[in-house]
Amino acid sequence: MVLLRRRSTTKNTNDRAVRAGEAAAAAAHASAPPRAPGEDGLPPRIGAAFFDLDNTVMRGASIFHLARGLYARRFFGARDIARFGWQQARFRLGGEHMGHVGDAQEAALSFARGHTVEEIRVIGEEIFDECMADKIWPGTRGLAQMHLDAGRQVWLVTAAPIEIATTIAGRLGLTGALGTVSETRDGVYTGRLVGELLHGEAKAEAVRALADREGLDLTDCSAYSDSANDIPMLTLVGDPCAVNPDARLRRHARAYGWRVKDYRTGRKAARIGLPAAAGVGAVAGALVAGTAVRRRVPGRI
């Protein structure tokens, strides 16, 4: 009985990952620029590059920057942002324990329920310009530009909401983004996800689904991430690369001969064995900074 229950849970988890990936790919494909057809009348199969966002393209976690901005705009209170930040850190640092995933999903959805897609999109643009733009890693941005200059598509792949992810990709001049898709009704968020957060296996499903839609040859694609949670995505492509890797991804990359790039300075790159402290610090920093800013300029960052 226990074995059957475990198998059922695993199947449900996989089903949610597939749904999340397909929804993200459909949204990304719909917003992607059209490609000119080849001699056979069909778009030629091309290579692409896929970039994780948090700690790969951007220093820190985009969701914390988003939470700070929403807190400053009075979307929720101090207790909410503390709970939200802790659940996100526990989810990211503790792996895919289903109880933690459920908590993270609930927290991730709470800020958008009842708000319109257009409202969140506009606020996301403001928050990026105000507190995300200066946190982009120059080295990783250079890698993305190298792929763009070579005529390849470049996609962000992140658990951040698709509206925020698309804004960031647009600001960086990338092709587009794969992100977590939330259910909407008449342009208003219902508070439910389509599938699950775009994390772990769901990211791999999204990349696979987008490759089918866009005619991408995954053996001629690259992928970049800092986290061992993204090994499923990295394994899909012919050219995986660990960027600012955590300890487990660094070991995996070395074992399989993957490229490793580290843009962190000083001894920071060596202190990858203390992720929990970094996560708690990020939560505390987001809360303190958000409180200070809100007191200084009500309603704005």
Write down the pLDDT at residue 120.
85
Q: What is the pLDDT of residues 37-96, one digit of tens each?
A: 655 555 666 789 999 999 999 988 887 778 778 778 877 767 766 665 665 555 455 444
Q: How does pLDDT run across 13-40, given as a tens digit for each residue?
A: 589 999 999 999 999 998 888 776 655 5
Structure tokens at 10: 């695993």
Least confidently predicted of 72-76, 215-219, 234-238, 239-243: 72-76
pLDDT at 155 over 80: yes
Give long-range contacts, CB 8 A cutoff, 24+ apart: 164-168: 164/62, 164/66, 164/120, 164/124, 164/127, 164/128, 165/53, 166/31, 167/121, 167/124, 167/125, 167/128, 168/53, 168/57, 168/58, 168/62, 168/128, 168/132
Examine the pLDDT at 211 and tell me if it is beyond 90: yes
Q: Which residue in the list 15, 54, 220, 226 is annotated as catalytic?
A: 54
Model pLDDT, residue 60? 82
pLDDT of residue 300: 34
The position carrying tokens 């999204």 is 206
Spatial CA neighbour of 132 closest among 111, 152, 106, 158: 158
pLDDT of residue 154: 97
Q: Give me Rg for the CA atoms of the chain.
A: 19
54 is a catalytic site residue: yes
* Residues paired with residue 228 on neighbouring β-strands, in sequence order: none
pLDDT for 106 equals 55
Per-residue pLDDT for 183 more than 60? yes
Q: Measuring CA to CA, which residue among 109, 58, 50 is closest to residue 282?
A: 58
Nearest in space to 17 (alpha carbons), one of 205, 286, 179: 205
Tokens of 214: 């866009």
List 15, 40, 52, 217, catalytic entry? 52
Is residue 114 over pLDDT 90?
A: no
Which of 1-5, 37-41, 225-229 ranks highest by mean pLDDT?
225-229
Span 179-192, average pLDDT? 90
**Least confident segment among 76-90, 159-173, 181-195:** 76-90
